[in-house]
Structure 1
Amino acid sequence: MKKKEEERKKQIMNAAFHAVSNLGYDKVTLQDIANHANVSKGVVHYYFTSKQNILLELLESTTSKIYRFEIQEIGKYHSAIEKLQAYVNAVFVSPQDNKKFYRVYLDFLAQANGNEDYKRINLKFYENCWGIGQEIIELGKGEGVFREDIDPLTYAKVIRAIIDGSLIQWLTCDIEEQHTFYKDICFNSILKLLK
């Protein structure tokens, strides 16, 4: 029974992600989420007490999933430059996935101003990202491929800013074919900064 409940909850969370991606944070309703999940609104209410509750869990699960994927991809490599390339590739996963995620994520960020829970989840996500950057920078410094004078935490923050800035600019240009261009520019800019 527990497994079936977990699967149903996952189905509703996936539906919530697609509903917010398609309709936007402000417009999406519990009924929209139910429709995307092919369940009744009552089923959604059984698992989540409110729209706010489901969207809060959606942000937390989505950012955690992305972090776990990035860690998994980086773990496949040994050198700092390979890990950096894997990190950028993991973030620039595909035009379709990036569009969906950033549509949802930017909607959440717009709400974060007045929502302490969103701020907390977002800060945890960024702290995880900064941890990845720090690890890569420290490895690169140890290998002698990155500058000795750089502070790992400061530059880890800059790395994530370059990544997000590149993806947001690509998204606002709305030219799918330029996804690879922005990924390459992002990686090369970070590498130049660190060397």
Structure 2
Amino acid sequence: MEDEPATEILHATYRALCEHGYANLTVQDIAAEADRSTASIHYHYDDKDQLFVAFLDYLYDRYTERLADAGGDSPRERLDALFEVSCRADPDGQQQAFRTAMLEVMAQAPYDDAIRERLAEFDTLLFERFQEILEAGIETGAFDERVDPAAAAEFLTATITGAHTREIATGTPSDRLYATVTQYTERHLLAEGPTGGAD
């Protein structure tokens, strides 16, 4: 059974992170968002750094669930569903605030092993999901047998991650990202003929 107070603190950390960003985020901000005292926060977590490592673990579990929900009856459908999850912007703009805060977190990674390791887990999970789908698609004949699944997965992971970072850092909209990766799939991954669906 989950520790409900600790889980609510992690929910509050998410909300506070979106509002304040990582650099300006304090334990007091999280306590206020959770409607708890700072002493209550420190009962579960010694400091902001320990809390944030736990928060990244919590996010990783949610991210795993989101990617697992990107299903479909065929590898092509699963790939498109994964693009939907990874590329589409949310209508209320909440992801924008969160990605801005996470960019600040990424800036801490070179100096914090725990943060770097956990961010690497997110990257690896997306990469492995793409690679699994591509390998399955090659086996069924949906994707071109000449495709290197690892190389294509690396390209897609880097493209999606880079587009989100670029959007936050430079203000360049990533609204064409879904169309870009879909076009890449059609031009470079699909097998020719009726199985793959390419012309």
Give the TM bin, normalised by the shorter chain.
0.7 to 0.9
Aligned to 2:25: 28
Aligned to 2:134: 137
- Deviations 1:81-105 (CA, angstroms, capped at 9, x unpaired): 1111110111236142421331232
SS in 2 for 1:150: coil
Are 1:73 and 1:86, in contact at CA under 8 Å, matched by a contact in 2? yes
1:184 Cα offset (Å): 2.5
Segment drifting more, 184-193 vs 35-44: 184-193
1:191 Cα offset (Å): 4.0
Aligned to 1:94: 90
Aligned to 2:194: none
Are 1:166 and 1:186, in contact at CA under 8 Å, matched by a contact in 2? no
Are 1:17 and 1:104, in contact at CA under 8 Å, matched by a contact in 2? no
Aligned to 1:51: 48
Out of 124, 129, 136, the residue aligned to residue 127 of structure 1 is 124
1:182 lines up with 2:177 in the alignment:
yes
Are 2:18 and 2:94, in contact at CA under 8 Å, matched by a contact in 1? no
Name the CA shift for 1:81/1:105 in 2 (closer, same or farther; >3 Å).
Answer: same
SS in 2 for 1:136: helix
Q: Which amino acid aligns with 1:155?
A: A
1:53 Cα offset (Å): 0.6
- Deviations 1:159-185 (CA, angstroms, capped at 9, x unpaired): 11122223334444376xx74x43223
Segment drifting more, 43-52 vs 124-133: 124-133
1:66 lines up with 2:63 in the alignment:
yes
- Deviations 1:1-25 (CA, angstroms, capped at 9, x unpaired): x65xx22211111111121222121
Alignment TM-score, normalising by the size of structure 2: 0.83
1:57 Cα offset (Å): 1.1
SS in 1 for 2:70: helix
1:155 lines up with 2:160 in the alignment:
no
Q: Which amino acid aligns with 1:19?
A: A
More helix as a share of residues: 1
Name the CA shift for 1:97/1:84 in 2 (closer, same or farther; >3 Å).
Answer: farther
- Runs of 4+ in structure 1 deviating by more than 6 angstroms, as ranges, are none
Aligned to 1:192: 187
Aligned to 2:111: 114
Name the CA shift for 1:132/1:59 in 2 (closer, same or farther; >3 Å).
Answer: same
Counterpart Cα distance in 1 of 2:85 and 2:22: 25
SS in 2 for 1:113: helix
Structure 1, unaligned runs of 5 or more? none
Are 1:147 and 1:194, in contact at CA under 8 Å, matched by a contact in 2? yes
Aligned to 1:42: 39
Aligned to 2:193: none
Are 2:28 and 2:38, in contact at CA under 8 Å, matched by a contact in 1? yes
Counterpart Cα distance in 2 of 1:9 and 1:52: 15
